[in-house]
Structure 1
Amino acid sequence: MTETISDTMRASVMTGVGTLKIEDRPVPTPGAHEVLVEVAAVGVCGSDVHYYRHGRIGDFVVEDPMILGHELSGRIAAVGDQVDPTRVGQRVAVEPQHPCRRCKQCMAGRYNLCPYMEFYATPPIDGAFCRYVVIDAEFAHPVPDSMSDEAAALLEPLSVAVTTMRKAHVAPGTSVLIAGAGPIGVICAQTARAFGASRVVVSDPLESRREAVLRFGATEVLDPMVDDVAALDPQVDVFIDASGAAPAVTSGIKAVGPAGYVVLVGMGSGDYPLPIGHIQNMEINVTGVFRYTDTWPAAIHLVASGAVDLDGMVTGRYDLEHVGEALDSDTDPASLKSIVVPS
C-alpha cells in the first residue's frame, strides 16, 4: 500500500431481495498486478435493479450478501508491487471484470466470454457501492481531466454500445432501428450517430422517453403501441434491441432489409419465437452482446471529443444511505441515469 488508508470502509450491501444495509467492510488489498481505486461515482444499471428486486438474473443467483454496482470511476489510491507507483492519484474509469487470461476464449481475444470471469456485482463477486475496490491495473483506464467522474463511470454502458455498433457494422450512412429508449437505448442512439449512422429510429411506448431520445441522437421516434414498426419504410440496415421485449424483437427483425444485422442487447425472457422465415430469406445476421472487450479507449475518445454526451443523461444523484432510492429511480419515466456517490 502506498497511502495511509483506513482498514475498513462503508458499503451498501444487498442482504436479501429488496433489502440493503450499510456495513463496515475491510478495505481490499491490491494484488501484485492490481490497483486500489477510491470510488468517485457509480452508475445504476438495470442488472443491479434486477438483482435487487428478484435476487437473480438467469443462472446468476444472489445467495449471500453482495455489494451491487459495476459502472464506476475513481482515483487510484494504492498499487500492487508490480504496478508503476506513479499511478497513485490517477483518475480512472474501471472496466469491472477479471478474466482468467488462460482459457480458450481469453486466448482468442474474447475475454468477455471467459467461463472463469469474475465480474463486479455478479454473484458471488462484490461490486462498487462502497468506498474502495481493486481491479487489474490494465483495467483501470486513465481518463482526461476534462471528463467528469460521472461521465467516466458511464463509460461502462457506453462500452456496451460501442460493442453493439461494432457487431452491427454501423458505418457512415447506415440506417438503424433501436427498440427501447431507456439508458442503453439512448446511449446506443448517440453511439450510432457517432459511428456515422445517418438515420436512427427509436421505438418506445413512453412519450417522455421518445422526447428524451430525440435530444440524444435519434432522427425519428415511433410509438410501438400505435405505429407498425415491422412495416418501417424504407427498411433499416440494423436493428438493435435495447428493450428485452419479445414483441419488439419480432417487429424489429421484420424491419431489417436484406443482409442486415440484428444485435440483441436488452435483457428479456429466456426464450421467445423469432421470424425465422424473414431471417432466412433476407440472410439477416442475428447476434447478441455480452459485455465487451477492448472498448474503453474508443469510449473515452467518444466522450472527450464531444461525440457522445453522458453528463446530460444524469438525472439523479444519491449517497450510500439512499442506494435503494437510486435502484428504484427507474420507476420515474423522466429518469435516465442515476449516480451513487459513495464518499
Structure 2
Amino acid sequence: MSQTIKLPETMKAAVMTGTRQIRMEDHPIPKPRANEALIKVMAVGVCGSDIHYYEHGRIGRYVVEGPFVLGHECAGEVVAIGENVTRVAVGDRVAVEPGVTCGTCSACKAGRYNLCPDVQFLATPPVDGAFVQYMTHREDFLFEIPTTMSYETAALVEPFSVGIHAARRAGVQPGSAVVIMGMGPVGLMAVIAVKAFGAGTIIVADLEEKRLNAARQLGATHAIQVNRDDAAAIIEELTGGIGADAAFETAGNDRALLSALKSLRRGGALAIVGLPPQGDIPLPIPFIVDNELDIFGVFRYANTYPDGIRFLSSGMTDLDAIITDRFPLAETWAAMERALTSKSDTLKVIVYPNGTD
C-alpha cells in the first residue's frame, strides 16, 4: 500500500453460508494491488440478483459454492491506493462499477465491455461482493462523486446504469413515448433514465400501487395497475392509437414481455431487461416482422457511470421515493429477509457497512 490512512487489521464481513443464511465474520482487510484502490464501503444496495442467490443459491450457470459475500451496488471512500494508481486518491468519494473486465478482448475493444467473457463481477460466483467494510477494486472502475451526492445515491448509479443502457439501446429520444413494464427498483430507475433522455410520455405498469406511486414521483406521466386496468387500451389511447416508440420489460414476466411488445408502434423498439424464470418464451414473429420491430437484449451496461453520476447529482430527481429500508452491516440477514419476504412493501433496501451516510 501507498498513501494510506491508519486502518484496523481486520474488518467485518456478512457472509452467506447457505441459502437464507448470513453470518458475520472477521476477515483481514485486503491489500490493493498496484492498479487497485482500497475502498471503505459506505453503502450497498440489495439487488434482485442478491436475493436470488440468497434464496436459491444459484442463477443459471452461476452457483454459490461455499461461503460467499453478496452485494454489488456500492459506493465508498478511497482509503489506500496501489503504487501505480493515478485515477483516484486517498479521500476520494467514489461510486464502484462492479464489473472488472479484461480490456483486451474484441468486446472490450469495441466498447461493449459488458460482454467481456472474462469479466469479474462483484457478487457473481466465485467473486465475493460488497457486504464488507473494506474491499479492493481496480482504479479504472472507480468514479469520483461530487460532495453533494450521498453514498446511497452513488450506490444506485449501478441499477440506474441498466436504465441508461436500455434507453441507449432502444433509441429513446426527446419527446419519445416509452412504456416500462415492471416497477421494481430497476424499472423505477429506468423511469429516471428515460426522463433524463427527454421522453415526453412515460407509461408504467405494475401490480403494486406503492410502486406505481413511486414511479409517479420519479417522473412517470401515466401509471397502469395491471390487475385492474386494461393496459393495452390505455396505452393505445395515450399514444393516439399509434403505439409507443420504445418499451422496456424489467420484471422478467412472459405476459409483461408480450404486453410490452404489443404496445409498440410500427418500427418501435423493445428492450428486454428482466430475466424470466423459464428459458424459452414464444414470440409473435409475424407481428414482429410485419411491424419491423427492433428487439434489444440488455445485459448490464457499458460506459454509463459518468452520465449516471451526472444525472443523479443534478437534482433532477429525489431518490427518497425508492429507498424504503436501511440496515447496518450486522443486520444484513434481516435486510435480505426484508427484501425477500416484503416485496409489496419494500423497494430498495440499503446496507451500511461502516455506519450511515
Mark yes or no: TM-score above 0.5: yes
Q: Is 1:322–2:305 an aligned residue pair? A: no
Structure 1 residue runs of 5 or longer lacking an equivalent are: none
Cα shift at 1:86: 7.0
1:211 is matched with: 213
Q: Distance in 2 between matches of 1:119 and 1:285?
A: 29
2:251 is matched with: 243
Q: What's the Cα RMSD here?
A: 1.4
**Aligned with 1:13: secondary structure?**
strand
Q: Distance in 2 between matches of 1:192 and 1:105?
A: 26
Q: Distance in 1 between matches of 2:200 and 2:351?
A: 35
Cα shift at 1:264: 0.8
1:262 is matched with: 270
Where does 1:85-234 land on structure 2 (aligned, <5 Å)? 87-231=89-233, 232-233=235-236, 234=239
Structure 2 residue runs of 5 or longer lacking an equivalent are: none
Q: Is 1:296–2:305 an aligned residue pair? A: yes
After TM superposition, what 4+ stretches of structure 1 lie above 6 angstroms from structure 2? Answer: none
The number of residue pairs the alignment matches comes to 343
Q: Distance in 2 between matches of 1:210 and 1:78?
A: 42
Cα shift at 1:334: 2.9
Matched letter for residue 309 of structure 2:
I
Q: Distance in 1 between matches of 2:256 and 2:343?
A: 22
Q: Distance in 2 between matches of 1:86 and 1:313?
A: 29
- TM-score between both structures, scaled by the size of structure 1: 0.96
Cα shift at 1:52: 0.2
Percent identity of paired positions between Structure 1 and Structure 2: 44
1:58 is matched with: 60
Deviation track 1:155-212 (CA, whole Å, cap 9, x = no partner) reads 1111111111111111111000011111111111121111110111111111222222
Deviates more, 1:166-175 or 1:219-228: 219-228
Deviation track 1:40-69 (CA, whole Å, cap 9, x = no partner) reads 100111110110001111111111211000
CA change 1:85–1:306 in 2 (3 A) is closer
- 8 Å CA contact 1:151–1:311 kept in 2: the answer is no
- TM-score between both structures, scaled by the size of structure 2: 0.93
**Aligned with 1:66: secondary structure?**
coil
**Aligned with 2:218: secondary structure?**
coil
Pick aligned residue for 1:339 from 344, 350, 355 = 350
Deviation track 1:83-120 (CA, whole Å, cap 9, x = no partner) reads 13970011000001111112221122111111111000
Q: Is 1:283–2:292 an aligned residue pair? A: yes
Q: Distance in 2 between matches of 1:311 and 1:218?
A: 15
1:252 is matched with: 260
Q: Distance in 2 between matches of 1:67 and 1:164?
A: 28
Deviation track 1:240-284 (CA, whole Å, cap 9, x = no partner) reads 011101000011101111111100111222221122222111111
Matched letter for residue 285 of structure 2:
I
Cα shift at 1:307: 2.2
